[in-house]
Amino acid sequence: MPILPIVTGKDAPILHKKTERVKKMTKNLETLIKNMLLTVHNSNGAGIAAPQVNRTERICIAKIGEDFVALVNPEIRWFGKKTGVMEEGCLSLPGLWMDIERPLEIIVNFETLKGKKRELKLEDFDARVVQHEVDHLDGVLITDRAKK
């Protein structure tokens, strides 16, 4: 399984495009997810989204607790009212760190590799990572979120 090249630069067009829902899980998509897992591990990241490896599918990997979880077609269904500011970096913007305000709690719905529907209530760092990766799937970067 290869480590995938990561798209870098805030002006890279694919990083500003909304991704397409996965209609059916295929062997190729399973291989993509395995390669994305290897890539995020190799990069010491907390997550990675398909656009960061030059793909348009609505797929991301996020570190939740101690494990990396593949989220297929993730949608954040609820945002808590309480927010917090934390410094965030991005594999696509190497060396750039920005203070980003995000809700401290979310509920995310997604599908597993096997097509099973899941719902998770996440908080703190886990919620932040998933929000960051779902932003990528919607064409949003931390440079778009940062307070001016």
pLDDT tens column, 45-74: 999 999 999 999 999 999 999 999 999 999
Domain count, the chain: 1
Residue 121's pLDDT is 98
Which residues belong to the active site?
133
**In-domain check, residue 82:** yes
**In-domain check, residue 4:** no
Residue 146's pLDDT is 86
Q: 57: domain range?
A: 13-145
Instruction: State the CATH number of the domain containing residue 128.
Output: 3.90.45.10
Confidence of residue 148 (pLDDT cuts 50, 70, 90): low
**In-domain check, residue 35:** yes
With beta carbons less than 8 A apart as the criterion, state whether 136 and 57 touch. Answer: no
Q: What is the mean pLDDT of residues 14-19?
A: 98
**In-domain check, residue 8:** no
- Cα dihedral 132→135→139→145 (10° resolution): -70
* pTM of the complete model: 0.96
